[in-house]
Amino acid sequence: MKRLTGKIAAERIRMAQVPRAPEGIIERIRAIGCDSSMISDAMDHFGIAGTLPASLYRPTIAGAAIVGTATTVRNQMSSAVLTPHERAQTNRNGMAEMEAHNQATEGDILVIDGVEGLSNMGGISSMIAKRHGITGAIVKGGIRDVGHSREIGFPFWSTEISPMTGKWRVDTVEINGPVELHGVGIRPGDIIVADDTGVCVIPPERADELVSFAEEQHALEVLRIKAIAEGVHVADLPGKAKK
């Protein structure tokens, strides 16, 4: 059973049981290298929107490539009467992504619809997330303690990096509800694929057909790479996979 940290935290949780990815899908995506370009091409083939570029959501660990089910967090700027200074002095932390760590299942990816200009998650939080089995985080807004998260091997894809904490400035308003990151809607339970090139969001109900197409393209690419390495002329490279 998931452990709640208090009444307020419990009230913020929109969905207690997040849908899981279809059986075997996560492993199949890992087998093709968690390749966001390959997944994006498959999404185009089926008319599915849902990509975020690494030029905007910049990875903190080069070469990291992850896939998992989304656990979502939505933050907003605090409307509290107290100033950040007053909240800091009285230890009134409005962020609750720690509760998302408690709600997550091993292998999940944290997706934070956060606040710009400050940190929505830091080093201690990433350490706790990793202990709970979360494999990484996608954050609209800032993060901090990047050296710490790199040291423990916890990758972020974020739009900003800032030393300014959100603890006294931000309130978490919902956990495991729908979020939107730069026009891409993400539901708890959606499948997230992220690498050096960017982030893709796969609806689980379309995952099997999409991954099957990506596997065909991956097999074709393996043949093309082998042919190029062997000096085959571009006109003689293996053709397109059957559709």
Q: How confident is the model at residue 169 (pLDDT cuts 50, 70, 90)?
A: very high
Q: Return the percentage of the chain with pLDDT > 90, whole number.
A: 79
DSSP secondary structure code for residue 205 in this structure: G
Q: How confident is the model at residue 153 (pLDDT cuts 50, 70, 90)?
A: very high
Q: Which of 30, 50, 11, 13 is nearest to 195 (CA)?
A: 30
Q: Give the number of other CB atoms < 10 A from CB of residue 177.
A: 16
DSSP secondary structure code for residue 134 in this structure: -
Task: Give the residue, 238 or 57, on which the prediction is more confident.
Answer: 57
Residue 9: the pLDDT is: 54
What pLDDT digit, counting tens, does each position of 30-81 carry?
A: 999 999 999 999 999 999 999 999 999 999 999 999 999 999 999 999 988 8
Half-sphere exposure of 182 (CA within 13 A, CB side): 18
198-214: average pLDDT: 97
Domains assigned to the chain: 7-222 (3.50.30.40)
DSSP secondary structure code for residue 70 in this structure: E
Residue 26 confidence (pLDDT) above 90? yes
Residue 219 confidence (pLDDT) above 50? yes
Distance between CA atoms of residues 222 and 136, nearest Å: 28
Residue 39: the pLDDT is: 98
Q: Which of 95, 79, 98, 76 is nearest to 179 (CA)?
A: 76
Distance between CA atoms of residues 63 and 52, nearest Å: 17
Q: How confident is the model at residue 205 (pLDDT cuts 50, 70, 90)?
A: very high
Task: Give the residue, 232 or 76, on which the prediction is more confident.
Answer: 76
- Pairing between β-strand 136-143 and β-strand 156-161 as defined by DSSP bridges: parallel
Residue 166 confidence (pLDDT) above 90? yes
pTM equals 0.89
Residue 242 confidence (pLDDT) above 50? no
Quick check: 172 and 74 in contact, CB under 8 A?
A: yes
Q: What is the CA radius of gyration of the chain?
A: 20
Residue 113 confidence (pLDDT) above 50? yes
Distance between CA atoms of residues 153 and 127, nearest Å: 9
State whether residue 192 is helix, strand or coil. Answer: strand
What pLDDT digit, counting tens, does each position of 175-194 carry?
A: 999 999 999 999 999 999 99
Q: How confident is the model at residue 8 (pLDDT cuts 50, 70, 90)?
A: very low
- Pairing between β-strand 109-113 and β-strand 136-143 as defined by DSSP bridges: parallel
For tokens 């419990």, the residue is 10
Residue 227 confidence (pLDDT) above 90? no
Residue 19 confidence (pLDDT) above 90? no
94-123: average pLDDT: 95
Beta bridge partners of 174: 74
